A and B are shown apart, each in its own frame.
Chain A
Amino acid sequence: DTAVSQTPKYLVTQMGNDKSIKCEQNLGHDTMYWYKQDSKKFLKIMFSYNNKELIINETVPNRFSPKSPDKAHLNLHINSLELGDSAVYFCASSQPTSGGASLTDTQYFGPGTRLTVL
């Protein structure tokens, strides 16, 4: 059984279009994340939701809008796609602990969605 799944795996689209990427986890985790990995392989957090509530919102253009219908799903909608949005987008999940970090904060990543904007 896939722990964290994303669809689609590949997405090729034209500049200016609107697209969505879906993520689902069956680990029972409360927290989900979206990361962007650019061509230089730098992995950077974009958003995090805990139990459907937005808790981390990095400096990301407001063309990117995450949506969490329930704690097992975190989707990413991107409006007016630009060339610079081309990257691999990873979804991840973890089970947070209160106080200090522990091994349960380990994040499990989905397979990634390679977005190419032409």
Chain B
Amino acid sequence: GQNIDQPTEMTATEGAIVQINCTYQTSGFNGLFWYQQHAGEAPTFLSYNVLDGLEEKGRFSSFLSRSKGYSYLLLKELQMKDSASYLCAVTRNYGGATNKLIFGTGTLLAVQP
């Protein structure tokens, strides 16, 4: 089976750093995505990890440990506009060239002044 766990909600202060954790259990793991979704909008791509380690992209970084089934998204210098849901998604091979994206329930981040 597959299981993806993230905290439901988090609160942080503008200018601070926040880390959103994601643990997963799945067979046929192929990589892990983080998506951002503002209320009433579509999910948008933030980052992708397939190998262990840290991927940095501006204020956002994502880490993966395949052996531990663990990832985190790190957001630095938080801005009010970062208030959104952050979705952890595991990509799993479905056969051939088909990869299936399995989403966690998302973490709703509220950034306060």
A residues within 8 Å of B by Cβ?
4, 31, 33, 40-45, 48, 50, 55-56, 90, 96-103, 105-112
Interface pairs A-B: 8 shortest CB-CB: A101-B30, A109-B42, A101-B31, A96-B97, A43-B103, A101-B91, A98-B97, A101-B99
For the complex, what is the distance from the CA of A112 to the CA of B87, rounded to whole Å? Answer: 16
B99 and A42: CB pair below 8 A?
no
For the complex, what is the distance from the CA of A43 to the CA of B44, rounded to whole Å? Answer: 13
Residue pairs across A and B with Cβ atoms less than 8 A apart, 23 shown, are: A31-B98, A41-B105, A42-B103, A43-B87, A55-B94, A55-B98, A56-B94, A56-B100, A90-B43, A96-B98, A96-B99, A98-B97, A99-B97, A100-B31, A101-B30, A101-B93, A103-B48, A105-B99, A106-B33, A106-B48, A109-B42, A109-B44, A111-B41
B4 CB to closest chain A CB, in angstroms? 10
A50 and B101: CB pair below 8 A?
no
B residues within 8 Å of A by Cβ?
30-31, 33, 37, 40-45, 48, 50, 85, 87, 91, 93-103, 105-106, 108
With A55-B94, A97-B97, A106-B48 given, is the CB distance from A40 to B42 under 8 Å?
Answer: no
With A42-B103, A107-B101 given, is the CB distance from A102 to B94 under 8 Å?
Answer: no
B100 and A100: CB pair below 8 A?
no
For the complex, what is the distance from the CA of A73 to the CA of B97, rounded to whole Å? Answer: 20
Residues of chain A within 8 A of B41, CB atoms compared? 111-112
Out of B30, B50, B97, B103, name the residue touching A50 (CB < 8 Å): B97
Residues of chain B within 8 A of A96, CB atoms compared? 97-99
A25 CB to closest chain B CB, in angstroms? 13
Out of B37, B45, B100, B105, name the residue touching A45 (CB < 8 Å): B100
B39 CB to closest chain A CB, in angstroms? 9
B5 CB to closest chain A CB, in angstroms? 13
A88 CB to closest chain B CB, in angstroms? 9
For the complex, what is the distance from the CA of A100 to the CA of B42, rounded to whole Å? Answer: 26
- Most B-side CB within 10 Å, residue of A31, A44, A90, A105: A105
Residues of chain B within 8 A of A50, CB atoms compared? 97-98
